Chain A
């Protein structure tokens, strides 16, 4: 038993809800129903959903929506490079020190956040859930070894570790995703394991035992659907954290140089000293990161109310 077993993803409560268990087939449908329920009557989740959807659309159609190529050095009518041009009709968010259109860069930046957020959250939660199922189900030495691995993962300072690894493997988008996932699985592994432990002692596992179900069947057909809501919750918060981590890595200058991430845009604004006056270069990417993460948190909070009935007051 450790503190983190009881800390929810957003740090809001110490109690992990005991969801009622029922037969596994209907359980999956219930989960889907629950996800629909997340948005019904929840103003915050609805706002979050709308914001997230707009980012997804902008990211998907960035090449069509962006008024310029993000790397293009724009020139004014007199042929001069438009260095640090303040917002105008042609360039609503102004230009960078190299005359690049900031609105277009920010639109392309949505792609990086979406890819990193979704991929890292998915990979780390799948790893975490599998570790949790194996550790919780088999118990004993297996559990002990896996939980010590989790301890070790928790002992590594996140950003320094990620930066050292990105430096070694090279700062490509996929390496960044890989490295973030390499540490982020730890939180879902720990919390979902406690839930697996509580599921394991329930009567439905006893009856599965009696029919002679195999270990794998019990783990993946019987227990997994019951921890699915928790898994979805961790995936949602994972998206938020991964986006913040990617932005921080890029801000420190270790981002993928071939892509325009919101963090990279701010890194350039900071390192060229333009933050002294060029508010148009700093505000759009910063506000985008904030809105993106917030939208995921809004949805996650409503999800958490369903996973954790204690929060429903």
Chain B
């Protein structure tokens, strides 16, 4: 077990290094630099050179690479051309905005999905199960932006129940503290629709997975005994069978949590949610590469870390797995 974890950590470091290198290469290949937008506005060649030098963009590539890795190790994400301030100071808030959005989505998706999937496993072979499966497959087939636009049209433009987007009322001052920023009614009110969008999209997986693992558990002998004991179906399903079907779920949650970070940028775009994903897309459009790289770096960090957790949880939770 210990050897396994040590090896996993070594792989983690390797993956992380490769990720940072890929990130560096991608953004050095992108067309344009911070001056591109200003050259058309009459920036002279000398001014341009001076700007490039200030950002260290005239150094040879390998020096730039070493500087980049060194800065990352010190926790320095660079300086944003567009905001004219450090990338980290902008991203720290957007990072938490994204995390809160996706965590709420997944929480809703997995709590409803697990219960509903367990129910489908229990009623297998009936028309109810067919209907439930169909619903799950419809959810699975709808891209996030389509779900978001449907919710937006119905609940915002028709019924006017929710705000059209953003994170707080227009013009409202952002509360200062971390807890006062995220734990208030205004935030929850704005969070509802985007979180529901993600929840619908991510709900299919727990439903399908829970259903099939329920079916194999329900075929086992101890369920027959519980039935013979005269327990109510609800008790058998949710207290005994569901508990034994939860194992695969733990690792899947970690994997999906990582993936959902990358997918969040679509929801963020639909609901104008000021998160990392949307920031990355906008920064790419504006040639603000340090900002785009910073957002990309944070998203990749979450993905890699969650994959690592999933692998560890997998062997830890299931003693039958061999460590190789």
Contact = CB atoms under 8 A, between A and B. Distances in A.
B212 to A, nearest CB: 4
B150 A286 contact: yes
B140 A10 contact: yes
Interface stretch (B43-51, B78-86, B295-303): B295-303
A157 B141 contact: no
Contact of A252 (B15, B124, B266): B266
B96 interface: no
B137 interface: yes
B294 to A, nearest CB: 12
Contacts of A266: 145-146, 149
Contacts of B323: 1
Interface string B167-182: 0000000000000000
Nearest to B150: A286
Nearest to B157: A276
A160 B150 contact: no
Interface stretch (A87-95, A129-137, A228-236, A293-301): A293-301
Interface residues of B, number: 70
Contact of A289 (B30, B146, B281, B315): B146
B224 to A, nearest CB: 16
Contacts of A158: 259, 262-263
B132 to A, nearest CB: 13
Nearest to A291: B141
Interface stretch (B16-24, B55-63, B183-191): B16-24
Contacts of A3: 251-252, 255, 310-311, 314
Given A1-B315, A13-B212, 17 more contacts: A1-B321, A4-B255, A13-B209, A14-B213, A14-B248, A152-B15, A155-B15, A155-B304, A157-B259, A160-B299, A161-B262, A163-B280, A168-B29, A248-B266, A251-B266, A252-B269, A252-B281
Given A3-B314, A155-B18, A252-B266, A290 B299 contact: no
Interface residues of A, number: 52
A167 B14 contact: no
B217 to A, nearest CB: 12
B36 interface: no
A279 B153 contact: yes
Contacts of A297: 137, 140-141
Nearest to B147: A286
Name the residue in B211, B252, B302 with the highest tally of chain A Cβ atoms < 10 Å from its Cβ. B252
B208 A159 contact: no
Interface of B: 11, 14-16, 18-19, 22, 26-27, 29-31, 124, 137-138, 140-146, 149-150, 152-153, 157, 204-205, 208-209, 211-213, 215-216, 219, 248, 251-252, 255, 259, 261-263, 265-266, 269-270, 277, 280-281, 284, 292, 295-296, 299-300, 302-304, 307, 310-311, 314-315, 321-324
19 contacts: A3-B314, A13-B212, A154-B303, A155-B19, A155-B300, A156-B303, A157-B296, A158-B259, A158-B262, A160-B295, A168-B31, A252-B281, A270-B145, A270-B149, A275-B152, A293-B142, A310-B216, A311-B212, A313-B124
A2 interface: yes
Interface of A: 1-4, 7, 10-14, 148, 151-152, 154-161, 163-165, 167-168, 240, 244, 247-248, 251-252, 263, 266, 270, 275-277, 279, 282, 286, 289-291, 293-294, 297-298, 301, 310-311, 313
A159 B300 contact: no
A13 B211 CA distance: 9
B280 A160 contact: yes
